[in-house]
Structure 1
Amino acid sequence: MPVPELAGEVAAIAADAGALAIKLWQTDFRRWEKSPGNPVCAVDLELDGMLRYRLGQLLPDAGWLSEETIDNAARLGAKRIWVVDPIDGTRDYLRGRSGWAVSVALIEHGQPVIGVLDAPARHEVWTAAAGQGAFRNGERLHASNRTELPGARVPADQLPKADRDLTPVFKPNSIALRMAMVAAGDADLLATLRWGNEWDIAASVLLAREAGASVTDAFGRPLAFNTPSAQAFGILASSPGIHAAAVERLAGRAEATVGRR
């Protein structure tokens, strides 16, 4: 099946997961912490099972990596793999806020070729296929053309003193949606300085790339997926004109953080 046609099938499956999530949203479901500060709920698990079954039917040979499934090293031998976060932004989901999304990506040879975010509480569907562009509700996306780092819009609740020349804008809990803001030109820069999981970013990395944004790890290095650790240090997505300046600004902090690990 050609990638664009396959992307449509993936979006339809993600939409069904989103419909179930919105149906159960703000109801009385079980919730707990997998570890301190790491919430999960029964809806996460229900969506995970649904997505694994439906996506598995679509591509029976594909491997599987999900936040809510115990990892299996067999995925490392797969030529293609689903990378899924059933609810990215669980905190917002639990608080009754809209900043969450179902995130599904298909990885081939270490890179995303299909990315879908279904955000029903925001009435948004984000889709991307390699070489085909990125879209929100059917409208093609373009990253901003900003060339100066000072004043760049960053999804953030607050900024550290060293970054107060930047401009904070609304921050959904979902990092996938924050990266999608860069793809849409609603933000100029998204940066993290921590070890993160592939399922948090796989779909939105493709969205940002296809919209013309620059996307690397926190050190400015290329990202790879379906790695043994399923992690990367930091994510840096921005308009191309400010990417090098952002890498330079964050270099010392990134090195210090990695050194403390």
Structure 2
Amino acid sequence: MGSDDAMVSPGELEQVMREAGALAMEYWPGAGNDVESWEKSPDNRVSEADLAVDRYLHRALGDLAPNAGWLSEETADDTARAEQRRCWIVDPIDGTRDFLRGRDGWCVSVALVEEGQPVLAALEAPARGQTWLARKGEGASLDGKALSCSDCAQLAGARVPIHDLPKTDRDLAKVSQPNSIALRVAMVAAGEADMVLTMRWGAEWDLAAAALIASEAGATVTAATGEPYRFNKPEPRIFGVLATAPALHGPALERWGGRAGEIANKAARPSGFVN
């Protein structure tokens, strides 16, 4: 069992994540299972799998770091957690749409945040047989193999996981897009994509784990406006993500940063968070 002063090891977190992934697979329609789901807000579905995995993680991660706070998409938020030095930030199933459709573009996302910054992170994508791990200052891995982002240095031809590109951005190259934003950012970490950009309000649980994995693989990761992330805030919302190969971040901000700022300023205060 961990303690508040002892760092949880990647191996301890990996074991919990594998069990969480196995639990999620018991509900996944892609394996022939039936799962109950409903809308918790417009265009934002949740399933019994999300809640079951959330309950398991709350218990198991609490055993690893019993004095850490808790922030999860599927748990009512107690903002007192923002006063704690450490906090677990969890999305039990990131990419619920793909999960419910029986597609493999979803994962379990967990990060341990300390003083506002992720220090340990994991993504478990059991339908893909993938486990992503990162520890601050020690690099990132996929199934035990060290990760390194690409060295792409120009926007023309840069690979982006997206379904359709606007006419103005067709100098970019499309690659397959999983529903999970965490997996899209992880693709940058693995050199499978060169850039991910989203320009909408989201939540800390969408990106806390993936941000550490990508940055430990050498990528540059910020909010869509270029601002650095800080996690475990009293109001855990964030505006988009810009995760890129290092040389692309500046050119990407030059092209899209102004637009992102305008959208962030004009967007209505979100009433919920959409995966």
State the TM-score, normalizing by the size of structure 1.
0.97
What is the CA distance between 1:133 and its match in structure 2? 0.5
Q: Deviations over 1:159-194 (max 9, x none)?
A: 111211100100000000000000000000001101
Larger mean CA deviation between 87-96 and 225-234 belongs to 225-234
Q: Which position in structure 2 is the counterpart of 1:50?
A: 56
Q: Which position in structure 2 is the counterpart of 1:113?
A: 119
Quick one: distance in 2 between partners of 1:135 and 1:217? 23
Quick one: distance in 2 between partners of 1:259 and 1:78? 30
What is the CA distance between 1:243 and its match in structure 2? 0.5
The amino acid across from 1:138 in the alignment is: G
Which residue of 93, 96, 101 maps to 2:99?
Answer: 93
Kept in 1: contact 2:132–2:141 (CA 8 A): yes
Quick one: distance in 2 between partners of 1:73 and 1:23? 32
Q: Does the residue aligned with 2:127 lie in a helix, a strand or coil?
A: helix
Quick one: distance in 2 between partners of 1:95 and 1:24? 12
The list of structure 1 runs, each at least 4 consecutive aligned residues, that deviate by more than 6 angstroms after superposition, is none
Quick one: distance in 2 between partners of 1:256 and 1:24? 41
Q: Which position in structure 2 is the counterpart of 1:84?
A: 90
Identity %: 53
Quick one: distance in 1 between partners of 2:191 and 2:222? 18
Which residue of 28, 31, 35 maps to 1:29?
Answer: 35
Q: Which position in structure 1 is the counterpart of 2:169?
A: 163
Q: Deviations over 1:20-75 (max 9, x none)?
A: 11122112221001111101000100110010011111111000000000110110
Q: Which position in structure 2 is the counterpart of 1:8?
A: 11
Quick one: distance in 2 between partners of 1:50 and 1:258? 35
Larger mean CA deviation between 122-131 and 17-26 belongs to 17-26
Q: Which position in structure 1 is the counterpart of 2:21?
A: 18
Quick one: distance in 2 between partners of 1:204 and 1:90? 17
Quick one: distance in 2 between partners of 1:202 and 1:15? 19
Q: Which position in structure 1 is the counterpart of 2:143?
A: 137
What is the CA distance between 1:220 and its match in structure 2? 1.1
Instruction: Tell me whether 1:72 sits opposite 2:75 in the alignment.
Output: no
| CA RMSD after TM alignment | 1.0
Kept in 1: contact 2:225–2:258 (CA 8 A): no
If each structure's helix is expressed as a fraction of its own residues, which one has the higher value? Answer: 1
Q: Which position in structure 2 is the counterpart of 1:146?
A: 152
Q: Does the residue aligned with 1:105 lie in a helix, a strand or coil?
A: strand
Q: Does the residue aligned with 1:151 lie in a helix, a strand or coil?
A: coil
What is the CA distance between 1:253 and its match in structure 2? 1.5
State the TM-score, normalizing by the size of structure 2.
0.92
Kept in 1: contact 2:106–2:179 (CA 8 A): yes
What is the CA distance between 1:252 and its match in structure 2? 2.6
Which residue of 191, 216, 237 maps to 2:222?
Answer: 216
Quick one: distance in 1 between partners of 2:131 and 2:176? 19
Q: Which position in structure 1 is the counterpart of 2:206?
A: 200
Quick one: distance in 2 between partners of 1:160 and 1:257? 17
Kept in 1: contact 2:160–2:193 (CA 8 A): yes
Quick one: distance in 1 between partners of 2:58 and 2:89? 10
What is the CA distance between 1:145 and its match in structure 2? 0.5
What is the CA distance between 1:256 and its match in structure 2? 2.2
Q: Does the residue aligned with 1:56 lie in a helix, a strand or coil?
A: helix
The number of residue pairs the alignment matches comes to 260
Instruction: Tell me whether 1:253 sits opposite 2:256 in the alignment.
Output: no
What is the CA distance between 1:259 and its match in structure 2? 2.9
Q: What are the ranges of 5 or more consecutive residues in structure 1 without an aligned counterpart?
A: none
